[in-house]
């Protein structure tokens, strides 16, 4: 319900404000821009050196940010 109030898939957030317990950060924090952001990240950070728990492509890392899953 809160996601709908914030604009649904079109809503966004700054990563330093994102709740690490959010079950779907790709949609909640980045919305329709996630796919483009992921392509940009792959181009400039192909080895995912820079990660944050709710950041772009974080779904490819374990819960501790230690290794890819």
In terms of Cα–Cα distance, which of 36, 60, 43, 34 is closest to 51? 60
Report which secondary-structure segment, H or E, holds 25: helix 25-25
Residue 67 lies in a domain: no
Q: What is the pLDDT of residue 26?
A: 92
Q: Which domain holds residue 33?
A: 2-60
Q: What is the pLDDT of residue 1?
A: 67
Residue 65 lies in a domain: no
Residue 26 lies in a domain: yes
Q: What is the pLDDT of residue 13?
A: 58
pLDDT digits (tens, 9 = 90+) for 5-63: 767 766 665 555 668 888 888 998 899 999 999 999 999 999 888 888 888 998 898 87
The three-state secondary structure class of 68 is strand
Q: Distance between alpha carbon 44 and the CA centroid of its chain, in Å?
A: 16
Residue 68 lies in a domain: no
Residue 69 lies in a domain: no
Residue 33 lies in a domain: yes
Q: Distance between alpha carbon 28 and the CA centroid of its chain, in Å?
A: 8
Which has more pLDDT, 47 or 3?
Answer: 47
Report which secondary-structure segment, H or E, holds 18: none
Is residue 4 predicted with pLDDT exceeding 70?
yes
Structurally, how many domains does the chain consist of? 1
């Amino acid at each position: 319900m809160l996601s709908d109030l914030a604009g649904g898939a079109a809503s966004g957030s700054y990563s330093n404000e994102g709740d690490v317990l959010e079950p779907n950060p790709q949609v909640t924090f980045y919305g329709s821009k996630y796919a483009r952001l992921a392509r940009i990240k792959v181009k400039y950070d192909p080895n995912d050196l820079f990660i944050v728990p709710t950041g772009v492509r974080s779904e490819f890392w374990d819960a501790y940010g230690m290794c890819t899953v």
